[in-house]
Structure 1
């Protein structure tokens, strides 16, 4: 009974991983395109970070979630022989093992730190007395910081690519004359017992701590601003200030979503280190939950940002207007113009 329930949950987790890939890829690509090309305030530092964030979060579902989808849908239920042979997509070859693990660690850490930098910069910009305010309010500074984070984390995760993935003999008890077969094992190196702690610090602990502090400071500053507006007779709020407020709201919600959905996996890895029967199922479920925070950014932008909604509606309107101008209609209009011209010449 318990085994059947577990098998059902394995399948559901695999399907959910596939849904994250199918929905997350176009959603994050749209976010990148809108923030980098369409929104009017593209030089805003927060918008610049959002554009880089959209591009990085495209990678995330194609790492461990792709492994879960292939393993639980294609192999466990449709091809049991492949499941018995490999177990994971990462075990098909050393290069696949290295690429999936490298880009998984890199993209998750990069996404977390881009969100952290965005909320930290927003917090500093709201505090007018801070000396760094003018420097952080420049588009060039936002680009430099974002690229520095990306390049730095690419280098930090190089050891993952180097040390992960080893080939071990799969028939140790076979005779000497028998053909030797090998199997690929990922995360088997002693290096990962240390690196998992590093990843936990880079992806969860440090970013979450900074996000919580910044969110508290922003909430306090916004509360003080509302109190000042209540005390003054002139309560007119400029359009620019309103947009800044909506941008801050988007950023705060994204950070809160990240904290809530990634905290369970962090707590699991900190406090539950021992192995048990359905550990893989629980790990997969928590990993899917964490990835959800990187897919739902599109929904938050859509709800909280008027510029994002306007840009998206303009894109849809432009696409629909292109459909109306079909080649057949264009040909008919040209023929009508030609016939009118000929008629005028005859007259």
Structure 2
């Protein structure tokens, strides 16, 4: 989930920041320089796709852990990092052509955010609709339905009732995140893919809902997901304890160092 949170934050520095500076300052970073144009164009697709597929992986991991009732191959930290790396590499290769064919100088010296090789917009928006919305949503619904089914079935057994698994919080989190993903992200992607000539105000409004969904992910998990909240506070507590431990070591070793001097 930490990796997913990072990509949710990175998303805010793509089209979102361009919308802001365009309306307030009258320019966009994408048209300031070719490297910026290529980077923002890549980030606008890579970050949301990565976030969506990490959500799919979380749903799959939750489904396997509940359906098998023992630690699966996905539960090991090393394997989790391998899977995350594979997701990143696949999506990087999928979008890497953006660095090659997208953004170029027009004859009049201005920067075009399109491609000199093919019609990038809305062609890649169609691809993004499938990779970022349709496929992840179908998989999340499938896995989350399985999770809720196993939670309902296993909740009736004494073993699960006496365990620390928070059935209600997990179910609520999965239902809310999947529903919000459908409601808040698909309209913007569909709008830019099929209705790119519509009012820019409407498109920017739909885009705002998309970014709000990713911004709300962290507080939503903190409020509804006990395991995420516990891990987050444990991470902060561990860091604080390490700092205190380092301070205590320094206070102990300093007198010893002073005593060795003649």
TM range (shorter): 0.7 to 0.9
Structure 1 length-normalised TM: 0.61
**Conservation of the 8 A alpha-carbon contact between 1:118 and 1:251:** no
> In the alignment, which of 182, 206, 216 is matched to residue 259 of structure 1?
182
Unaligned runs of 5+ in 1: 1-49, 76-82, 171-181, 323-347
> In the alignment, which of 181, 206, 212 is matched to residue 141 of structure 2?
212
CA offset digits 1:26-50 (Å, max 9, x no partner): xxxxxxxxxxxxxxxxxxxxxxxx0
**How many pairs does the alignment contain?**
239
What is the CA distance between 1:306 and its match in structure 2?
3.3
**Conservation of the 8 A alpha-carbon contact between 1:246 and 1:305:** yes
CA offset digits 1:183-210 (Å, max 9, x no partner): 0010254241432222111111110111
Structure 2 counterparts to residues 130-145 of structure 1, below 5 A: 134-145=72-83
Structure 2 counterparts to residues 285-300 of structure 1, below 5 A: 285-300=205-220
What is the CA distance between 1:99 and its match in structure 2?
0.8
What is the CA distance between 1:169 and its match in structure 2?
2.4
User: Structure 1 residues 218 and 110, CA, compared in 2 at 3 Å: closer, same or farther?
Assistant: same
Does residue 1:202 correspond to 2:126, yes or no? Answer: no
Root-mean-square deviation (CA, aligned residues, Å) is 3.1
**Conservation of the 8 A alpha-carbon contact between 1:122 and 1:248:** no
**Conservation of the 8 A alpha-carbon contact between 2:148 and 2:171:** no
What is the CA distance between 1:221 and its match in structure 2?
2.2
Unaligned runs of 5+ in 2: 244-262
Larger Rg, first or second structure (1 or 2): 1
CA offset digits 1:136-189 (Å, max 9, x no partner): 23222211101111122122211111111111123xxxxxxxxxxx10010254
Secondary structure of 1:187's counterpart equals: strand
**Conservation of the 8 A alpha-carbon contact between 1:108 and 1:203:** yes
Tell me the residue number matched to 1:156. 94
Tell me the residue number matched to 1:306. 226
